[in-house]
Amino acid sequence: MFSSPRGTADILPEEAREWQWMEGIARDLCARYGYGEIRTPLFEHTELFHRGVGNATDIVEKEMYTFVDRSGRSLTLRPEGTAPVGRAYLEHHLNALAQPVKLYYVGSMFRYERPQAGRMREFHQFGVEVFGSASPLADVEVITLAHSFYEALGSRDTLIALNSIGCPQCRPRYLEALQEYYRPKIGGFCANCQRRLERNPLRLLDCKEEQCRRLSQDVPPIYDYLCSGCRAHFQQVQELLAASGLAFQLQPRLVRGLDYYTRTVFEFIHSALGAQDALGGGGRYDGLIEDLGGPPVPGVGFAMGLDRLLVVLRQSGRPGKAETDPQVCVLAFSGLEKEGFLLARQLRAAGLRVLQDFGERGLKAQMKWAGRTGAPWAVLLGPDEWQQQKVILRDLTAGGQEEVAREQIVPELCRRLGSAAGER
Ligand SMILES: [Zn+2]
Ligand SMILES: [Zn+2]
């Protein structure tokens, strides 16, 4: 007997309906905001993530599924979506289109982490990317899109944490200030932090180790170090969020675990999860496309883990489900299976969700099965009625049945199911 690999899960049909519902809301919102879907490969050249995500990040150092294929190329299962989408933007010359280019994706990502509730090794993300706009309006558009998504799902109490991490002009001064702050205390930090202090001191701010978090408590806030451009941008983002009626909290130590961010960074935190457990987040990445070998192109986006979101939705209410319940069961006496089969075809062509018994059991067993499917109606084909050009329409919810003319059964069921759907 096999089981699925640790950190992966099968999504069976009943649960898949929740995913379809959630993804449907994401797709609908993206269409309303003018984002087009992009589907990139599940694996990429490993170098893309070294350059796009950053060498001194947890993802690249510890969490990637990297393998050598039969031709000796190093490939990596995508651990995040932004670097692949940036790669596609460049490869297909999307910078030659009218800017900004607004894209979204929904799909699997892979990270080698310790599995826990809602944190899997194969996990699912919904993300958006805007390329070709440096405007604070773009930052706020992606934040409001994410917020609308949480709202549409019925997830309340989602807090927006906001920060700016500056730009290549002003960040070096801040990094120096961080190093000065950390150097005398570095003995108390974990081995990772000690190693990263000189190379990438920003990473010490989001280390998950308890001792490191405690020692980062009084770190100098970045605000005093922002250049005038970054300060004005940050100010405008805050004003636009306030004008949109979105509550947010400034979090001076929020830096996000990826190297490509510049200026705005944000996270969505749900009160049901711990403070370090964000539902999703993102930020501006004005240097990413250049890091990938392209021209300077500003960008901003977010990504959110859908697995964890579903866990939260199940705790705090009930996620919706895609509408896939069967509406009609077609049952036929022995000898009329073919006629039943053809009637089921007609009903489906009329837009109804129809199950048909394949005639491998008696009518009594068929009736029992029909009752278990949850379908509100059954159509029975009996030899006597069929001879008289009739079928039996049985109400599986209220009980009772009646005869209906054969040529009337399709419009009759459409009428009844149409009005039943309207009442719900
Ligand atoms: Zn700056
Ligand atoms: Zn640490």
**What's the rounded Cα separation, in Å, for the pair 282 and 151?**
18
User: From the CA of 186, which ligand is nearest?
Assistant: 2
Q: Which amino acid is at 132?
A: G
Distance 121 CA to ligand 2 centre (A): 22
Distance 175 CA to ligand 1 centre (A): 12
SS (H, E, C) the chain: CCCCCCCCCCCCHHHHHHHHHHHHHHHHHHHHHCCEECCCCCEEEHHHHHHHCCCCCHHHHHHCCEEECCCCCEEEECCCCHHHHHHHHHHCCHHHCCCCEEEEEEEEEECCCCCECCECCEEEEEEEEEECCCCHHHHHHHHHHHHHHHHHCCCCCEEEEEEECCCCCCHHHHHHHHHHHHHHHHHHCCHHHHHHCCCCHHHHHHCCCHHHHHHCCCCCCHHHHCCHHHHHHHHHHHHHHHHCCCCEEECCCCCCCCCCCEEEEEEEEECCCCCCCEEEEEEECCCHHHHCCCCCCCEEEEEEEHHHHHHHHHHCCCCCCCCCCCCEEEEECCCCHHHHHHHHHHHHHCCCCEEECCCCCCHHHHHHHHHHHCCCEEEEECHHHHHCCEEEEEECCCCCEEEEEHHHHHHHHHHHHHHHHHHC
Domain ranges of the chain: 13-170+226-315, 328-417
Taking the mean position of all CA atoms in its chain, how far away is CA 10? 17
Distance 47 CA to ligand 1 centre (A): 28
In this predicted model, what pLDDT tens digit does every residue of 119-161 receive, in sequence order? 899 999 999 999 999 999 999 999 999 999 999 998 777 889 9
Distance 242 CA to ligand 1 centre (A): 23
Distance 59 CA to ligand 2 centre (A): 15
Distance 63 CA to ligand 2 centre (A): 16
Q: What residues have their beta carbon closer than 5 A to ion ligand 2?
A: 190, 193, 207, 209, 212
**What's the rounded Cα separation, in Å, for the pair 299 and 292?**
13
Distance 236 CA to ligand 2 centre (A): 33
Q: For residue 272, what pLDDT band results from cuts at 50, 70 and 90?
A: low
64 pLDDT above the threshold of 60? yes
Distance 289 CA to ligand 1 centre (A): 18
Q: For residue 419, what pLDDT band results from cuts at 50, 70 and 90?
A: low
**What's the rounded Cα separation, in Å, for the pair 344 and 348?**
6
Distance 243 CA to ligand 1 centre (A): 24
User: From the CA of 168, which ligand is nearest?
Assistant: 1
Distance 176 CA to ligand 2 centre (A): 18
- The CATH number assigned to the domain with range 13-170+226-315 reads 3.30.930.10
User: From the CA of 167, which ligand is nearest?
Assistant: 1
Q: For residue 117, what pLDDT band results from cuts at 50, 70 and 90?
A: confident
Distance 389 CA to ligand 1 centre (A): 80
CATH topology of domain 328-417: Rossmann fold (3.40.50)
- The pLDDT assigned to 273 comes to 55
CA dist 239 to 51, 132, 264, 332, Å?
A: 33, 22, 13, 66
Distance 204 CA to ligand 2 centre (A): 6
**What's the rounded Cα separation, in Å, for the pair 243 and 251?**
20
Q: Which amino acid is at 193?
A: C
- Phi first, then psi, for residue 330 (nearest 5°) are -105, 120
Distance 168 CA to ligand 1 centre (A): 6
User: From the CA of 284, which ligand is nearest?
Assistant: 1
Q: What is the mean pLDDT of residues 62-83?
A: 97
Q: What is the mean pLDDT of residues 92-101?
A: 96
pTM above 0.75, yes or no: yes
- The pLDDT assigned to 231 comes to 97
424 pLDDT above the threshold of 50? no
Distance 192 CA to ligand 1 centre (A): 27
Distance 412 CA to ligand 2 centre (A): 68
User: From the CA of 207, which ligand is nearest?
Assistant: 2
The answer to whether 392 touches 379, Cβ cutoff 8 Å, is yes
Distance 342 CA to ligand 1 centre (A): 69
Long-range contacts, stretch 345-354, CB < 8 angstroms, 24+ apart? 346/410, 347/379, 347/409, 347/410, 347/413, 350/410, 350/413, 350/414, 351/414, 352/327, 352/328, 352/413, 352/414, 352/417, 353/324, 353/325, 353/326, 353/327, 353/328, 354/326, 354/327, 354/328, 354/329, 354/330
In this predicted model, what pLDDT tens digit does every residue of 363-418 receive, in sequence order? 899 999 999 999 999 999 999 999 999 999 999 999 999 999 999 999 999 999 98
Distance 183 CA to ligand 1 centre (A): 24
Distance 235 CA to ligand 1 centre (A): 13
Distance 13 CA to ligand 2 centre (A): 41
